[in-house]
Amino acid sequence: MSRPIARVLTLLELLQSGGLRTAAELADRLDVDERTVRHYIGHLVDLDVPVESVRGRHGGYRLTAGFRMPPLMLSDDEALAVLLGLVAGRQAGLTTATGTASETAAAKIRRVLPERLRRRLDAVLDSVAFTVPPGGATAAGSVAPESAVLLPVADAVAHHRPVSIRYTAGNGRRSERTLHPHGLVAHSGKWYVTAADLGSGEDRMFRLDRITEVRTLPGSFDPPADVDAARRVLTGLATAPYRHEVSLCVQGTAEDVRARLPAGIAVVEELPPPGDADPGAAEPWSRVGMRVERLDWLPAVLASLDRPFVIERPDELRGLVTEFAERLAVSAARREAP
């Protein structure tokens, strides 16, 4: 948004706060001269905003009594897209240096939304957790949930209400489930709800894009204390059954190794030092466990760690790493394209 347009909108905000505002006061608040203030007032009048000009020693500008900006007429999907876009932008570090622009923009949008929609969107913003830290990379190929699914699930999380859902699993199997939802999580371009599945008696996580219908049920439930929904999703993804079970040791603390791996693919546990080791002699090692469908992408990930590592299993991974290193060596030795 250009600075003149932003200042015109700021001027409208000042006038909507009520009272008579002198040209000098408005010029000071907008950091412009009084002539520019009169120019901005003309912009508002051209937009059919009823600004009254009061002449005289104690004159100034004010809005016509009773004037209010009409509610922002956005559909549920549109409002959800705008607010989540602002939140995601702040989360990915795409906002201004102060980090407040997205917050103030979201506050202005919320202020002119109909009350019903504002309450439902607040439930989403209050319930969602992100697995990517501020400034972290976000995944391509995002799968946005339908507002007809996300909004009632978020409301159930916020108010501890049971829900009934229709769910299609990854293998295509369809089922109806009754859940006590605990948290909403956005991870790697997908949305998840963590919940107690009353049918199985287990704590589970469900992808929102695989839910086709949500019904809020009567009653309420007491959520478990200290639920970390984001950690539950990351652990669930890292320990899900896949074709290959990978185990390796990497030199470094668990925190450092975990920060170098894509979120949600690994369980990292720091190893205790040998009994005869000098505590300050060497950097600790950590064991990394992963379950993956394919191994071909792991050599590049291991190389990017830039840390000594030991492959415990599977042996197939050793050959892939060796081949990857040979290809790198050949490429490094080339002087020109073939």
User: Under CATH, which number does the domain 239-333 receive?
Assistant: 3.30.70
Q: Could you tell me which of 59, 209, 201 has the C-alpha nearest to residue 142?
A: 209
pLDDT at 135: 44
What is this structure's pTM?
0.55
pLDDT at 75: 72
For residue 310, the surrounding DSSP H or E stretch is strand 309-313
- Spans of all domains in the chain: 3-63, 73-227, 239-333
User: CB–CB of 321/302 below 8 Å?
Assistant: yes
Q: Extract the residue ranges of the chain whose pLDDT is less than 70.
A: 1-3, 66-74, 87-104, 112, 132-144, 263-264, 275-281
Question: What CATH architecture does domain 3-63 belong to?
Answer: Orthogonal Bundle (1.10)
What's phi and psi for 91, nearest 5 deg?
A: -65, -35
Joined together, the tokens standing for residue 8 give: 């015109």
Question: How far apart, in whole angstroms, are the C-alpha atoms of residue 35 and residue 37?
Answer: 5
Question: How far apart, in whole angstroms, are the C-alpha atoms of residue 58 and residue 60?
Answer: 7
pLDDT at 119: 83
Do the domains 3-63 and 239-333 sit in the same CATH topology, yes or no? no
44: left (phi over 0), alpha (psi -120 to 50) or beta: alpha
Helix axes 115-127, 76-91, angle to 10 degrees: 30
DSSP state of 21: B
pLDDT at 249: 95
